[in-house]
Amino acid sequence: MIGITSYGAYIPCYRIKVEEIARVWGDNPEHIKKGLLICEKSVPDLDEDAATIAVEAARNAIRRRDIDPKEIGAVYIGSESHPYAVKPTATIVAEAIGATPDLTAADFEFACKAGTAAIQACMGEVTMGMIKYGMAIGADVSQGAPGDALEYTAAAGGAAYIIGKKNLIAEIEDTFSFTTDTPDFWRREGESYPMHGGRFTGEPAYFKHIMSATKSLMKKVGTKPGDYDYVVFHQPNGKFPLRMAKMLGFVEEQIKPGLVVSKLGNTYSGSSLIGLAAVLDQAKPGSRILMTSFGSGAGSDAFSMTVTDGIEETRGKAPTIAELLKSPKYIDYALYAKHKGKIVV
Protein backbone atom coordinates (compact mmCIF):
# COMPACT_ATOMS: atom_id res chain seq x y z
CA MET A 1 0.00 0.00 0.00
CA ILE A 2 1.36 3.40 -0.98
CA GLY A 3 -0.07 6.83 -0.47
CA ILE A 4 0.02 10.20 1.25
CA THR A 5 1.58 10.20 4.71
CA SER A 6 1.16 13.93 5.23
CA TYR A 7 0.45 17.18 3.44
CA GLY A 8 0.88 20.89 4.06
CA ALA A 9 0.11 24.07 2.20
CA TYR A 10 1.00 27.74 2.22
CA ILE A 11 -0.73 30.79 0.74
CA PRO A 12 0.64 34.35 1.05
CA CYS A 13 -1.66 36.74 2.93
CA TYR A 14 -1.98 39.44 0.24
CA ARG A 15 -4.90 39.58 -2.23
CA ILE A 16 -5.94 41.74 -5.14
CA LYS A 17 -9.55 41.86 -6.31
CA VAL A 18 -10.68 41.47 -9.91
CA GLU A 19 -12.31 44.94 -9.69
CA GLU A 20 -8.92 46.54 -8.98
CA ILE A 21 -7.14 44.91 -11.94
CA ALA A 22 -10.12 45.68 -14.24
CA ARG A 23 -10.06 49.34 -13.09
CA VAL A 24 -6.48 49.73 -14.35
CA TRP A 25 -7.01 48.05 -17.72
CA GLY A 26 -10.49 49.41 -18.44
CA ASP A 27 -12.16 45.99 -18.38
CA ASN A 28 -15.65 45.28 -17.08
CA PRO A 29 -15.08 43.45 -13.77
CA GLU A 30 -18.49 41.78 -13.89
CA HIS A 31 -17.68 40.24 -17.28
CA ILE A 32 -14.36 38.94 -15.91
CA LYS A 33 -15.92 37.59 -12.71
CA LYS A 34 -18.71 35.90 -14.61
CA GLY A 35 -16.38 34.61 -17.32
CA LEU A 36 -13.68 33.23 -15.02
CA LEU A 37 -15.70 32.68 -11.82
CA ILE A 38 -12.95 34.35 -9.83
CA CYS A 39 -13.21 37.20 -7.28
CA GLU A 40 -9.62 37.73 -6.13
CA LYS A 41 -6.17 36.17 -6.20
CA SER A 42 -3.23 35.79 -3.83
CA VAL A 43 -0.12 37.95 -4.20
CA PRO A 44 3.30 37.12 -2.73
CA ASP A 45 5.02 39.44 -0.25
CA LEU A 46 8.11 41.33 -1.45
CA ASP A 47 10.38 38.70 0.09
CA GLU A 48 8.45 35.60 -0.99
CA ASP A 49 9.16 33.39 -3.99
CA ALA A 50 8.56 29.78 -5.04
CA ALA A 51 11.35 28.59 -2.69
CA THR A 52 10.00 30.33 0.45
CA ILE A 53 6.45 29.15 -0.35
CA ALA A 54 7.73 25.59 -0.86
CA VAL A 55 9.59 25.70 2.48
CA GLU A 56 6.51 26.90 4.40
CA ALA A 57 4.33 24.22 2.76
CA ALA A 58 6.97 21.54 3.45
CA ARG A 59 7.29 22.57 7.10
CA ASN A 60 3.50 22.38 7.48
CA ALA A 61 3.55 18.85 6.01
CA ILE A 62 6.22 17.76 8.51
CA ARG A 63 4.38 19.44 11.39
CA ARG A 64 1.11 17.70 10.55
CA ARG A 65 2.57 14.22 11.05
CA ASP A 66 5.72 14.77 13.14
CA ILE A 67 7.87 13.14 10.46
CA ASP A 68 11.62 12.91 11.09
CA PRO A 69 12.98 14.93 8.13
CA LYS A 70 16.03 12.66 7.99
CA GLU A 71 13.70 9.85 6.85
CA ILE A 72 12.79 11.80 3.70
CA GLY A 73 14.89 10.31 0.92
CA ALA A 74 13.81 12.57 -1.96
CA VAL A 75 12.66 16.17 -2.29
CA TYR A 76 11.23 17.17 -5.65
CA ILE A 77 9.86 20.65 -6.36
CA GLY A 78 7.57 21.35 -9.28
CA SER A 79 7.34 24.99 -10.32
CA GLU A 80 7.44 27.27 -13.32
CA SER A 81 8.88 30.11 -11.23
CA HIS A 82 12.00 28.51 -9.74
CA PRO A 83 14.07 31.46 -8.43
CA TYR A 84 17.20 30.31 -10.26
CA ALA A 85 17.52 29.13 -13.86
CA VAL A 86 20.47 27.01 -12.67
CA LYS A 87 20.58 26.03 -8.98
CA PRO A 88 17.90 23.84 -7.52
CA THR A 89 15.04 25.09 -5.38
CA ALA A 90 14.95 21.54 -3.98
CA THR A 91 18.29 21.90 -2.16
CA ILE A 92 17.07 25.07 -0.45
CA VAL A 93 13.91 23.31 0.70
CA ALA A 94 15.72 20.11 1.74
CA GLU A 95 18.16 22.15 3.85
CA ALA A 96 15.40 24.27 5.38
CA ILE A 97 13.42 21.23 6.53
CA GLY A 98 16.52 19.49 7.87
CA ALA A 99 16.44 16.60 5.39
CA THR A 100 20.02 17.04 4.12
CA PRO A 101 22.46 15.53 3.32
CA ASP A 102 21.48 11.89 2.78
CA LEU A 103 18.81 12.29 0.10
CA THR A 104 18.26 12.98 -3.56
CA ALA A 105 16.66 16.20 -4.77
CA ALA A 106 15.65 17.82 -8.03
CA ASP A 107 13.48 20.52 -9.56
CA PHE A 108 10.65 19.51 -11.86
CA GLU A 109 9.13 21.54 -14.66
CA PHE A 110 5.93 20.78 -16.55
CA ALA A 111 3.88 23.99 -16.45
CA CYS A 112 1.11 23.51 -13.87
CA LYS A 113 1.49 19.75 -13.38
CA ALA A 114 5.12 19.53 -12.26
CA GLY A 115 4.00 18.92 -8.65
CA THR A 116 1.91 15.87 -9.53
CA ALA A 117 4.74 14.54 -11.72
CA ALA A 118 6.90 14.84 -8.58
CA ILE A 119 4.34 12.76 -6.63
CA GLN A 120 4.58 10.03 -9.26
CA ALA A 121 8.39 10.05 -9.05
CA CYS A 122 8.16 9.68 -5.26
CA MET A 123 5.62 6.85 -5.66
CA GLY A 124 8.06 4.98 -7.90
CA GLU A 125 10.98 5.32 -5.50
CA VAL A 126 8.91 4.43 -2.43
CA THR A 127 7.41 1.40 -4.19
CA MET A 128 10.86 0.20 -5.23
CA GLY A 129 12.07 0.55 -1.66
CA MET A 130 14.74 3.08 -2.64
CA ILE A 131 13.44 5.58 -0.08
CA LYS A 132 11.16 5.51 2.97
CA TYR A 133 9.45 8.84 2.32
CA GLY A 134 9.52 11.19 -0.64
CA MET A 135 8.39 14.81 -0.59
CA ALA A 136 6.70 16.28 -3.67
CA ILE A 137 5.89 19.97 -3.79
CA GLY A 138 4.07 22.19 -6.27
CA ALA A 139 4.74 25.90 -5.62
CA ASP A 140 4.60 28.99 -7.77
CA VAL A 141 4.61 32.76 -7.81
CA SER A 142 2.77 32.69 -11.11
CA GLN A 143 3.47 35.20 -13.83
CA GLY A 144 0.93 37.01 -15.98
CA ALA A 145 1.88 39.94 -18.21
CA PRO A 146 0.36 43.33 -17.31
CA GLY A 147 -2.94 43.67 -19.16
CA ASP A 148 -3.04 39.99 -20.18
CA ALA A 149 -6.10 37.90 -19.27
CA LEU A 150 -3.76 35.77 -17.14
CA GLU A 151 -3.23 38.70 -14.80
CA TYR A 152 -6.68 38.15 -13.31
CA THR A 153 -5.77 34.63 -12.20
CA ALA A 154 -1.96 34.18 -11.86
CA ALA A 155 -1.53 33.73 -8.09
CA ALA A 156 0.96 32.52 -5.46
CA GLY A 157 0.86 29.44 -3.24
CA GLY A 158 1.95 25.85 -2.89
CA ALA A 159 1.37 22.49 -1.31
CA ALA A 160 3.70 19.71 -0.18
CA TYR A 161 2.94 15.98 -0.02
CA ILE A 162 4.92 13.32 1.80
CA ILE A 163 4.58 10.00 -0.01
CA GLY A 164 5.25 6.76 1.83
CA LYS A 165 4.03 3.29 2.73
CA LYS A 166 3.49 3.88 6.46
CA ASN A 167 1.18 6.08 8.52
CA LEU A 168 -0.98 6.86 5.49
CA ILE A 169 -3.78 9.39 5.53
CA ALA A 170 -4.82 8.42 2.01
CA GLU A 171 -3.97 5.38 -0.06
CA ILE A 172 -3.17 6.05 -3.71
CA GLU A 173 -4.73 3.12 -5.57
CA ASP A 174 -3.39 4.07 -8.96
CA THR A 175 -2.25 6.88 -11.22
CA PHE A 176 -2.50 7.40 -14.96
CA SER A 177 -0.95 10.07 -17.18
CA PHE A 178 -1.89 11.38 -20.61
CA THR A 179 0.73 13.44 -22.46
CA THR A 180 1.01 15.01 -25.94
CA ASP A 181 2.99 17.82 -27.57
CA THR A 182 0.35 20.56 -27.47
CA PRO A 183 1.69 24.14 -27.50
CA ASP A 184 -1.13 25.89 -25.63
CA PHE A 185 0.99 27.97 -23.21
CA TRP A 186 4.73 28.64 -23.03
CA ARG A 187 7.46 30.94 -21.76
CA ARG A 188 10.71 31.19 -23.68
CA GLU A 189 14.04 31.17 -21.82
CA GLY A 190 14.81 34.61 -20.39
CA GLU A 191 11.31 35.97 -20.93
CA SER A 192 9.48 37.43 -17.92
CA TYR A 193 5.95 36.45 -18.88
CA PRO A 194 4.32 33.46 -20.55
CA MET A 195 2.31 33.52 -23.75
CA HIS A 196 -0.69 31.39 -24.54
CA GLY A 197 -2.95 30.32 -27.35
CA GLY A 198 -6.08 32.03 -25.97
CA ARG A 199 -9.07 29.77 -26.62
CA PHE A 200 -6.67 27.05 -27.80
CA THR A 201 -5.85 26.44 -24.10
CA GLY A 202 -9.38 24.98 -23.69
CA GLU A 203 -10.63 22.13 -25.86
CA PRO A 204 -7.40 20.64 -27.34
CA ALA A 205 -5.39 21.27 -24.15
CA TYR A 206 -7.13 21.42 -20.75
CA PHE A 207 -10.29 19.47 -21.56
CA LYS A 208 -8.76 16.82 -23.82
CA HIS A 209 -5.91 15.95 -21.44
CA ILE A 210 -7.87 15.92 -18.20
CA MET A 211 -10.69 13.97 -19.78
CA SER A 212 -8.37 11.36 -21.30
CA ALA A 213 -6.29 10.87 -18.14
CA THR A 214 -9.36 10.72 -15.89
CA LYS A 215 -11.29 8.29 -18.11
CA SER A 216 -8.28 6.01 -18.53
CA LEU A 217 -7.60 6.02 -14.78
CA MET A 218 -11.20 5.12 -13.96
CA LYS A 219 -11.08 2.33 -16.55
CA LYS A 220 -7.81 1.02 -15.06
CA VAL A 221 -9.12 1.14 -11.46
CA GLY A 222 -12.62 -0.04 -12.43
CA THR A 223 -14.46 2.96 -11.03
CA LYS A 224 -17.09 5.38 -12.30
CA PRO A 225 -17.72 9.03 -11.34
CA GLY A 226 -20.39 8.07 -8.78
CA ASP A 227 -17.83 6.02 -6.80
CA TYR A 228 -15.96 9.16 -5.71
CA ASP A 229 -16.91 11.51 -2.88
CA TYR A 230 -14.61 14.26 -4.16
CA VAL A 231 -13.05 15.22 -7.46
CA VAL A 232 -10.29 17.78 -7.97
CA PHE A 233 -9.10 19.14 -11.30
CA HIS A 234 -6.49 21.76 -12.14
CA GLN A 235 -8.07 25.16 -11.47
CA PRO A 236 -6.87 27.81 -13.95
CA ASN A 237 -10.18 29.58 -13.32
CA GLY A 238 -13.51 28.63 -11.78
CA LYS A 239 -15.24 27.76 -15.00
CA PHE A 240 -12.99 25.09 -16.56
CA PRO A 241 -13.07 22.59 -13.67
CA LEU A 242 -16.85 22.91 -13.31
CA ARG A 243 -17.35 22.27 -17.03
CA MET A 244 -14.82 19.42 -16.95
CA ALA A 245 -16.68 17.80 -14.05
CA LYS A 246 -19.99 18.03 -15.88
CA MET A 247 -18.50 16.63 -19.09
CA LEU A 248 -17.14 13.61 -17.19
CA GLY A 249 -20.37 12.96 -15.30
CA PHE A 250 -19.44 14.35 -11.89
CA VAL A 251 -21.85 16.57 -9.96
CA GLU A 252 -21.19 19.91 -8.24
CA GLU A 253 -21.23 18.33 -4.74
CA GLN A 254 -18.16 16.31 -5.73
CA ILE A 255 -16.09 19.20 -7.11
CA LYS A 256 -17.13 22.18 -4.97
CA PRO A 257 -15.24 21.20 -1.74
CA GLY A 258 -11.87 21.30 -3.53
CA LEU A 259 -12.62 24.27 -5.76
CA VAL A 260 -10.72 27.11 -4.08
CA VAL A 261 -9.77 29.18 -7.15
CA SER A 262 -12.40 31.94 -6.74
CA LYS A 263 -10.70 33.31 -3.59
CA LEU A 264 -7.15 32.16 -4.40
CA GLY A 265 -6.52 32.38 -8.14
CA ASN A 266 -4.45 29.94 -10.17
CA THR A 267 -1.36 28.92 -8.24
CA TYR A 268 -0.04 27.02 -11.29
CA SER A 269 1.97 24.05 -9.91
CA GLY A 270 0.17 24.49 -6.58
CA SER A 271 -3.32 24.57 -8.08
CA SER A 272 -4.61 20.99 -8.07
CA LEU A 273 -2.46 20.16 -5.02
CA ILE A 274 -4.03 22.96 -2.96
CA GLY A 275 -7.45 21.77 -4.17
CA LEU A 276 -6.58 18.27 -2.93
CA ALA A 277 -5.41 19.72 0.41
CA ALA A 278 -8.77 21.51 0.80
CA VAL A 279 -10.49 18.15 0.24
CA LEU A 280 -8.23 16.28 2.69
CA ASP A 281 -8.97 19.01 5.27
CA GLN A 282 -12.58 17.82 5.34
CA ALA A 283 -12.59 14.24 4.01
CA LYS A 284 -13.58 11.38 6.31
CA PRO A 285 -11.96 7.93 6.52
CA GLY A 286 -13.20 5.88 3.58
CA SER A 287 -13.82 8.91 1.34
CA ARG A 288 -12.72 8.35 -2.23
CA ILE A 289 -10.95 11.15 -4.09
CA LEU A 290 -10.07 11.55 -7.75
CA MET A 291 -7.55 14.26 -8.65
CA THR A 292 -6.35 15.14 -12.15
CA SER A 293 -3.79 17.85 -12.76
CA PHE A 294 -3.11 19.63 -16.03
CA GLY A 295 0.12 21.12 -17.28
CA SER A 296 0.31 23.07 -20.50
CA GLY A 297 2.50 21.69 -23.15
CA ALA A 298 0.60 19.38 -22.36
CA GLY A 299 -0.25 16.60 -19.96
CA SER A 300 -2.43 15.39 -17.11
CA ASP A 301 -1.74 13.10 -14.15
CA ALA A 302 -4.79 11.44 -12.61
CA PHE A 303 -4.82 9.81 -9.15
CA SER A 304 -7.42 7.62 -7.46
CA MET A 305 -7.25 7.74 -3.63
CA THR A 306 -9.07 6.47 -0.57
CA VAL A 307 -8.79 8.31 2.74
CA THR A 308 -7.66 6.16 5.69
CA ASP A 309 -8.39 6.33 9.44
CA GLY A 310 -5.02 8.07 9.86
CA ILE A 311 -6.51 11.34 8.63
CA GLU A 312 -8.17 11.97 12.00
CA GLU A 313 -4.78 12.07 13.78
CA THR A 314 -3.65 14.95 11.58
CA ARG A 315 -6.49 17.37 12.30
CA GLY A 316 -5.45 20.70 13.76
CA LYS A 317 -1.71 20.03 13.47
CA ALA A 318 -1.15 22.42 10.54
CA PRO A 319 -3.23 25.18 8.97
CA THR A 320 -6.11 24.18 6.69
CA ILE A 321 -6.70 25.81 3.31
CA ALA A 322 -9.72 27.62 4.82
CA GLU A 323 -7.46 29.01 7.58
CA LEU A 324 -4.80 30.06 5.05
CA LEU A 325 -7.44 31.89 3.01
CA LYS A 326 -8.82 33.66 6.09
CA SER A 327 -7.99 37.32 6.95
CA PRO A 328 -6.50 38.41 3.61
CA LYS A 329 -4.76 41.79 3.28
CA TYR A 330 -6.09 43.57 0.20
CA ILE A 331 -3.71 45.68 -1.88
CA ASP A 332 -4.26 48.00 -4.82
CA TYR A 333 -2.75 47.58 -8.29
CA ALA A 334 0.23 49.86 -7.55
CA LEU A 335 1.29 47.82 -4.53
CA TYR A 336 0.56 44.61 -6.45
CA ALA A 337 2.86 45.80 -9.25
CA LYS A 338 5.56 46.52 -6.66
CA HIS A 339 5.13 43.10 -5.02
CA LYS A 340 5.35 41.33 -8.37
CA GLY A 341 8.39 43.29 -9.54
CA LYS A 342 6.41 44.82 -12.40
CA ILE A 343 7.84 48.25 -11.61
CA VAL A 344 11.38 48.35 -12.95
CA VAL A 345 13.50 51.35 -11.94
Report the interface residues with another protein, using CB under 8 A: 45-49, 51-52, 55-56, 59, 63, 83-84, 92, 95-96, 98, 316-319, 323, 326-327, 338
209 is annotated as an active-site residue: no
Least Cα distance to 160 among 268, 276, 73 occurs for: 276
In the complex, the smallest distance separating the C-beta of residue 17 from another protein, rounded to whole angstroms, is 20
Q: How far is the CB of 318 from another protein (least distance, A)?
A: 7
Q: Which residues of 277-295 are buried (b: 16+ CB within 10 A; e: fewer)?
A: bbbbbebeeebbbbbbbbb
- The secondary structure of residue 144, as a DSSP letter, is -
Task: Give the residue with the Cβ less far from another protein, 83 or 204.
Answer: 83
Residue number, 199 or 326, with CB nearest to another protein: 326
84 vs 186, beta carbon nearer another protein: 84
Selection from 266, 305, 260 nearest residue 161 by Cα: 305
Beta strand 288-292 pairing with 297-307: antiparallel
Whether 122 is catalytic is no
**Per annotation, catalytic residue among 112, 122, 196, 339:** 112
Among candidate residues 40, 48, 80, 125, the one labeled active-site is: 80
Q: Which amino acid is at 45?
A: D
Report how far apart the first and last C-alpha atoms of the chain are (Å, whole number).
54
Closest CB 99 distance from another protein, rounded Å: 11
Contact 109, 79 (CB under 8 A): yes
Q: Residue 128 Cβ, how far from another protein at the closest point, in Å? A: 30
Q: Give whichever of 138 and 319 is closer to another protein, judged by the CB atom.
A: 319
Among candidate residues 240, 274, 238, 237, the one with its CA nearest the CA of residue 258: 274
Clarify whether 112 is annotated catalytic. Answer: yes
Rounded Cα–Cα distance for residues 17 and 298 (Å): 29
Catalytic residue among 82, 196, 209, 234: 234
Cβ of residue 282: shortest distance to another protein, in angstroms? Answer: 17
CB-nearer residue toward another protein: 96 or 145: 96
Given a contact cutoff of 8 angstroms between Cβ atoms, the answer to whether 233 and 294 are in contact is: yes
Could you list the active site residues? Answer: 80, 112, 234
